[in-house]
Structure 1
């Protein structure tokens, strides 16, 4: 039996223009949905959330396609399926008649933990 190393995953999240087009009183349900996403990732079996970073104080407005993103979640995931399950939460979390992906998008970058060599 082999010990599989976790997959170090950076979830990159962008806020779409649809969010900014909402009337102020309709923003709360989107933030609740995003909170559900964060809890959902943390509750996936074998997933260990390491860190989060929110860029909202120095980047205002929509994220361009690709970098820079609005916020990031770094996690160790047991396998590719758990990474897919985390991303799939954007398809399943309901915000009224829509899903979370109407207001935000996600991309996952997978790799391994970079170990600092002992010199």
Structure 2
């Protein structure tokens, strides 16, 4: 009897830049962008993660994201399980930015569901 492969979870990671980022002196912004790149690669490189698409609102949304919609950027990915989605969110907590962590400058929310299949 064939074993069914568990379905991956569809996750929308919603990221927002906070006021702390905008309060930084210009000379320190590059450090945050470098850490952000590390965090994004970290999500992409988690075992079993398939990034399906990304969206960045930075050209049409200027300033901080309010608490809730809209977010600054989005990553749509299939992940193998909830633990992997949690590990991706944890990268905001553990990615170092000087003496701080990335979550001082950004926040994340993961929306977890399943693929919406559109009938033929």
**TM-score, normalised by the number of residues in structure 1:** 0.97
SS of 1:50 mapped into structure 2: strand
Aligned residue for 1:114? 116
CA-to-partner distance for each residue in 1:49-96, whole Å, 9 max, x for gaps?
A: 111100011100000001100000000000000000000001100000
Give me the whole-angstrom Cα distance separating, in 2, the residues matched to 1:22 and 1:72.
Answer: 23
**Aligned counterpart in structure 2 of residue 74 of structure 1, from 65, 73, 76:** 76
Aligned residue for 2:36? 34
Aligned residue for 1:48? 50
CA-to-partner distance for each residue in 1:9-48, whole Å, 9 max, x for gaps?
A: 0000000000000000100010011000110001000000
SS of 2:91 mapped into structure 1: helix
**Distance apart, 1:3 and its partner CA:** 1.6
SS of 2:24 mapped into structure 1: coil
Gaps of 5+ in 1: none
Stretches (4+) displaced over 2 A: none
Give me the whole-angstrom Cα distance separating, in 1, the residues matched to 2:115 and 2:40.
Answer: 21
Over aligned residue pairs, what C-alpha RMSD do you find? 0.6
Aligned residue for 2:11? 9
**TM-score, normalised by the number of residues in structure 2:** 0.97
Aligned residue for 1:25? 27
Give me the whole-angstrom Cα distance separating, in 2, the residues matched to 1:23 and 1:114.
Answer: 43
**Distance apart, 1:2 and its partner CA:** 2.5
